[in-house]
Chain A
Amino acid sequence: MARTTTERKAIRSLVWLLVIIIALIAANGASVLFNNGQWTPKLALDLEGGTQITLSPQLSTGEAVTPEQLERAVAIIRQRVDASGVSEAEINTQGNQNIVVSIPGEPDDETRERIQSSAKLEFRPVLAADLPSPDTIGEEGAEDPATDPSASPSAEPSAAPSPTASPTDASDLAWITPELQEQFDTFDCASLSAVGANVAPTDEPLITCEQDGSIKYILGPVEVAGERIADARAGLVTSSTGVTTNEWGVFMEFDAEGTAQFRAVTERLVALVGVQNQFAIVLDGSVISAPRTISAITDGRPQISGNFTEESALTLADQLKFGALPIGFEIQSSENISATLGVSQLQSGIIAGIIGLILVAFYAFFQYRALGGVVLASLIVAAVITYLIITYLSNQQGFRLSLAGVAGLVISIGVIADSFIVYFERIRDELRDGRSVDGSVEAGWKRAWRTILISDVINFLAAVVLFVLAVGNVRGFAFTLGITTIVDLIVVALFTHPLMQLLARTRFFGSGHPLSGLDPQALGAVYRGRAQFRAPVGVASTKVASSSREAQRRQTIAERKAAQSSSEGKDAR
């Protein structure tokens, strides 16, 4: 009865493993069919080659980039690229002013967009616009007067510009000279995207459009620079009574300097009417939002509300937060590169890995005889599962296998094989204590599982910490290390152990054939016979080692008899 239960359990485990493998194959198949996935993992830049984008700063004449600005820009771009998924983008500075972004493979439009919009963010007051904005900027909980009809502005600047007077502040309509007015009238929003980044000196007005080309603006000089933003997030707007509404908004936070600047501006703007009341947020020369000012912001924590969806609020928050580059950049070159010996490195890596595996297999057969076959089979199962998981993540999460990742896989051969070695050695220890083969498999498993579990926890911890905290190449490596650690646990619990349970019931292994690797004669009985290390079963003795004492206690009567007869057989020989 007990036997069949064990057997049934073992078979159930193997079925579970099969289910996992089939599920992984199905998931991969699904992504191949529906998501343009592949059956092979995507490779990183160092193995596959990739795209290298060189960004150079857009400078008005006479300006220079400081190393601090460049460093900040690199950090922000890295943040953006990393935010687009697990890709091993390498971001370097070149020649003290360029930034080089290396992206594995061909980046999709979204990723390219993220890098390309490495924009300069600035706040400028609106001088003129051909349409009013539905969005408002105010303090948290401020009433939204969007319904107020008086707020609707005139399509053309109402005040007649006087070209001779010099403007007194950024909102002064004196900025609009007749030439500027003419430029504004003839300006075509379609030309904006073609030009790319729209650079104007910070102390001069700018003609530009809403990002989608819907509204045309004349903007005053820059009042607050994008670097002044400390944080931005999207969330639901709280009304003046403190009740959370269903309306999405963007919450900003300025640093000390920005707070003072923003306060001065909003105090002025709130008194103005029409489009002049509006405040344009300019990203890379085009307006991403131009909310009306409904109150002066004194605490540096403005809130932008209006016709936001959750998505558009999140986008704006992201743009405010990550778009705050200290300088504007343009893509100077974007080219596909072949990796430094990448392909041949991968081939050599695979050849070396196969040679290594063959050597491991040889050693396993030499050490564990027929059990070497179990090691080999388990390693193959682990390889299949790892391959499927990596392919799946590569299709779904944009994970890319780098050379460092391959190294993680290679070290995992050792860690995974170690689980089997720990397990087999524990089984052998139990055999030495005089247990039957199937009893040893069970008892050895209980002890080995604990060890395997805690040591894999440590390995997994290392992988997680490295993945969360480290950047670039190290992440890809940590990722494969973490995956293989989990695979190790799956394989040893759902494949190796059940297989051992079933094998222990075969005659070859169960009777401890000399070639099975589980020969009790060679392992334990020798010492019971010759050195009287272990007193015959049944005679109470204090001379035995406590571990064997414990093993003895756990023995069934049948096992004890079997052990006794085998040791008698040994003596007789």
Chain B
Amino acid sequence: MSRLTQFGNDLYTGQRSFDFVGRRNTWYLIAAVFVILAIGFTALRGGFVFGIEFRGGSEFRVQSTSVVEQGTAVATSIADEAVASVVPGASPRVSIVGGDSIRVQTEQLTPAETEEVRAALAEAYGVAESDVSSSFIGATWGADITRQALIALVVFLVLASLVLAVYFRTWKMSVAALIALFHDLVVTAGVYGVFGLEITPAAVIGFLTILGYSLYDTVVVFDKVRENTSEDGVESRRTFAQSVNLAVNQTLVRSINTSIVAVLPTASILLIGSVLLGAGTLRDIALALTVGTIVGTYSSIFLAAPLYVHLRQNEPEVKKQGSRPRVARTESGAVR
């Protein structure tokens, strides 16, 4: 059998155990540092960089059948050069419209820049300047759809925490899961902020996916915690914290397997998206998903479970459970 199976056996029996719950202050600290770094660096860079759909932007249309016939790739490279000569670092979105014109979208340009780009495009495509029209996109995506997405986010969080509270019969699991979720969202969004990647509608969709996935992953871990902690009553030799820790260890192999299985397809999309296609919807979604999946798995283990113990450790019943274990513990061999 593979070594991971062996590893799984050890974790299941408690032969080998990672102290996820006991060393929780370390994990809290690490999470806090990540959250602060994510927020801090994003703030230092002057906030998130938003895509054209959020800010609005400039759009150029070039009438030229000859360029259209050469295909999108050629048209794109010509437009890239022309736009870059006026506005360095801009990454225009180029598409062929109708069959006789090329559409070039850039960030919102000043009127002077717009004229320059227009001239540059006309020259690059070899058409008269009158064949290049310019206009700009209103930023309705940002105003309209983001607001709806935020409402959806809040409604989902409220409903999900209710469902979890009812299912697990304690609101404390909901709270722990939500804090972990918050951490995942901040860190994932932080990757965009820290590296100055554009937040596009696709990236927002990626964030929303993480929302579901992160909570999903936490629920799987918590269900094992529920199973373990409900099985041992007051007479248990394990403290509450030890029970939770054993549960996390027992699901560790699952967590590792799941995150690898979830990351493999998204990572391959990320790779192919960014190597073959450059910036685009696929890369934006895949990046958010890849980062979010890894962070989501991490937070379920290192944040959600310890937080849950933290929230419950002062309950009288839970305290009682921990009062008797000292002697038996050494012989049990189940928890080390």
CB of B37 within 8 Å of the partner chain? no
Residues in chain B near residue A359, CB distance under 8 A: 264-265, 268
Q: Are B271 and A421 in contact (CB under 8 A)?
A: no
Q: Are A546 and B138 in contact (CB under 8 A)?
A: no
Q: Are B262 and A418 in contact (CB under 8 A)?
A: yes
Please tell me the size bucket of the interface on A: 35 or more
Tell me if A's interface is mostly helix, strand, loop or mixed. Answer: helix
> Which B residues between 190 and 227 are near A, CB-CB below 8 angstroms?
201-202, 204-206, 208-209, 211-213, 215-216, 219-220, 223-224, 227
A25 to B336, CA, bound (A): 55
> Which B residues between 150 and 170 are near A, CB-CB below 8 angstroms?
151-152, 155-156, 159-160, 163-164, 167
Q: Are B156 and A465 in contact (CB under 8 A)?
A: yes
Q: Are A363 and B277 in contact (CB under 8 A)?
A: no
CB of A106 within 8 Å of the partner chain? no
What 0/1 readout, one digit per residue, does chain A (337-380) give for beta carbons within 8 Å of chain B? 11111001100110111011101100110110000000000000
Q: Are A477 and B13 in contact (CB under 8 A)?
A: no
Q: Are A450 and B223 in contact (CB under 8 A)?
A: yes
Whether A337 contacts B1 in the complex (CB less than 8 A), given A451-B223, A533-B15, comes out as: no
Residues in chain B near residue A348, CB distance under 8 A: 269, 272-273, 276-277, 282
Whether A96 contacts B138 in the complex (CB less than 8 A), given A345-B281, A352-B273, A533-B333, comes out as: yes
Q: Are A75 and B144 in contact (CB under 8 A)?
A: yes
Residues in chain B near residue A432, CB distance under 8 A: 9, 12-13
A178 to B289, CA, bound (A): 72
CB of B8 within 8 Å of the partner chain? yes
Residues in chain B near residue A403, CB distance under 8 A: 202, 281-282, 285
B53, B95, B262: which contacts A338 (Cβ < 8 A)? Answer: B95
Whether A415 contacts B262 in the complex (CB less than 8 A), given A432-B13, A458-B160, A481-B209, comes out as: yes
Residues in chain A near residue B119, CB distance under 8 A: none
A9 to B219, CA, bound (A): 29
Q: Are B262 and A411 in contact (CB under 8 A)?
A: yes
In the complex, the chain B residue whose C-beta lies closest to that of A463 is B212
| Residue among B13, B156, B272 facing the most chain A CB atoms (10 A cut-off) | B13
CB of B136 within 8 Å of the partner chain? yes
Q: Are B144 and A477 in contact (CB under 8 A)?
A: no
Q: Are A458 and B215 in contact (CB under 8 A)?
A: yes
CB of B86 within 8 Å of the partner chain? no
| Residue among B53, B151, B250, B333 facing the most chain A CB atoms (10 A cut-off) | B333
Whether A462 contacts B332 in the complex (CB less than 8 A), given A352-B268, A414-B258, A474-B204, comes out as: no
Residues in chain B near residue A471, CB distance under 8 A: 144-145, 148
Q: Are A345 and B282 in contact (CB under 8 A)?
A: yes
Question: B19 to nearest A CB, angstroms?
Answer: 18
Whether A341 contacts B95 in the complex (CB less than 8 A), given A407-B286, A523-B5, comes out as: yes
A340 to B149, CA, bound (A): 24
| Residue among A403, A542, A545 facing the most chain B CB atoms (10 A cut-off) | A545
Whether A469 contacts B212 in the complex (CB less than 8 A), given A367-B257, A413-B261, A533-B334, comes out as: no
A470 to B96, CA, bound (A): 29
Whether A417 contacts B261 in the complex (CB less than 8 A), given A355-B272, A366-B2, A531-B13, comes out as: yes
Q: Are A447 and B95 in contact (CB under 8 A)?
A: no
Residues in chain B near residue A74, CB distance under 8 A: 140, 144
A451 to B218, CA, bound (A): 11
Whether A360 contacts B220 in the complex (CB less than 8 A), given A94-B136, A341-B72, A403-B285, comes out as: no
Whether A345 contacts B13 in the complex (CB less than 8 A), given A335-B98, A363-B264, comes out as: no
What 0/1 readout, one digit per residue, does chain B (261-297) give for beta carbons within 8 Å of chain A? 1111111110111001100111001100100010000
Q: Are A465 and B155 in contact (CB under 8 A)?
A: yes
CB of B69 within 8 Å of the partner chain? no
Q: Are B8 and A428 in contact (CB under 8 A)?
A: yes
Q: Are A422 and B280 in contact (CB under 8 A)?
A: no
Residues in chain B near residue A340, CB distance under 8 A: 93-95, 280
CB of B317 within 8 Å of the partner chain? no
Q: Are B163 and A477 in contact (CB under 8 A)?
A: no
A428 to B94, CA, bound (A): 53
Question: B212 to nearest A CB, angstroms?
Answer: 4
Residues in chain A near residue B202, CB distance under 8 A: 403-404, 407, 473
A279 to B149, CA, bound (A): 42
In the complex, the chain B residue whose C-beta lies closest to that of A362 is B264
Tell me if B's interface is mostly helix, strand, loop or mixed. Answer: helix
Q: Are A338 and B94 in contact (CB under 8 A)?
A: no
Q: Are A407 and B205 in contact (CB under 8 A)?
A: yes
CB of A519 within 8 Å of the partner chain? yes
Question: B167 to nearest A CB, angstroms?
Answer: 5
CB of A238 within 8 Å of the partner chain? no
In the complex, the chain B residue whose C-beta lies closest to that of A74 is B140
CB of B25 within 8 Å of the partner chain? no
A531 to B2, CA, bound (A): 20
Q: Are B14 and A545 in contact (CB under 8 A)?
A: yes
A154 to B226, CA, bound (A): 82
> Which A residues between 480 and 534 are near B, CB-CB below 8 angstroms?
481, 514, 519, 522-524, 526-527, 531-533
Q: Are B212 and A481 in contact (CB under 8 A)?
A: yes
Question: B17 to nearest A CB, angstroms?
Answer: 12
A337 to B258, CA, bound (A): 40
A345, A421, A447, A458: which contacts B261 (Cβ < 8 A)? Answer: A421
In the complex, the chain B residue whose C-beta lies closest to that of A355 is B268
Question: A66 to nearest B CB, angstroms?
Answer: 13
Residues in chain A near residue B280, CB distance under 8 A: 340-341, 345
Partner-binding segment picked from B27-35, B42-50, B228-236, B306-314 = B228-236
Q: Are B213 and A94 in contact (CB under 8 A)?
A: no
Q: Are A356 and B268 in contact (CB under 8 A)?
A: yes
> Which A residues between 365 and 397 are near B, CB-CB below 8 angstroms?
366-367
Residues in chain A near residue B201, CB distance under 8 A: 404, 472-474
A425 to B251, CA, bound (A): 8
Question: B9 to nearest A CB, angstroms?
Answer: 6
CB of A62 within 8 Å of the partner chain? no
CB of B90 within 8 Å of the partner chain? no
Q: Are A474 and B266 in contact (CB under 8 A)?
A: no
B97, B265, B282: which contacts A337 (Cβ < 8 A)? Answer: B97
Q: Are B12 and A429 in contact (CB under 8 A)?
A: yes
> Which A residues between 419 and 456 are near B, CB-CB below 8 angstroms?
421-422, 425, 428-429, 432, 447, 450-451, 454-456
The 10 A-B pairs at the shortest CB distance, nearest first, are namely A414-B262, A356-B265, A93-B138, A462-B212, A469-B152, A522-B1, A352-B269, A352-B272, A451-B223, A407-B285
Give B residues with C-beta under 8 Å from A.
1-2, 4-6, 8-9, 12-15, 53, 59, 72, 93-99, 103, 135-138, 140-141, 143-145, 148-149, 151-152, 155-156, 159-160, 163-164, 167, 201-202, 204-206, 208-209, 211-213, 215-216, 219-220, 223-224, 227-228, 231-232, 236, 250-251, 253-254, 257-258, 260-269, 271-273, 276-277, 280-282, 285-286, 289, 293, 328, 331-334
8 additional contacts, CB 8 Å, given A356-B269, A466-B208?
A98-B135, A367-B257, A410-B269, A415-B216, A458-B215, A531-B13, A542-B328, A545-B14
Give A residues with C-beta under 8 Å from B.
46, 52, 70-71, 74-75, 78, 91-96, 98, 335-341, 344-345, 348-349, 351-353, 355-357, 359-360, 363-364, 366-367, 403-404, 407-408, 410-411, 413-415, 417-418, 421-422, 425, 428-429, 432, 447, 450-451, 454-459, 461-463, 465-466, 468-474, 477-478, 481, 514, 519, 522-524, 526-527, 531-533, 542-543, 545-547, 550
Identify 15 residue pairs between A and B in the complex whose beta-carbon atoms are under 8 Å apart, listed by A's number.
Answer: A337-B96, A407-B206, A418-B262, A425-B253, A457-B163, A462-B160, A468-B152, A471-B148, A473-B145, A473-B201, A478-B208, A533-B15, A533-B333, A545-B14, A547-B227
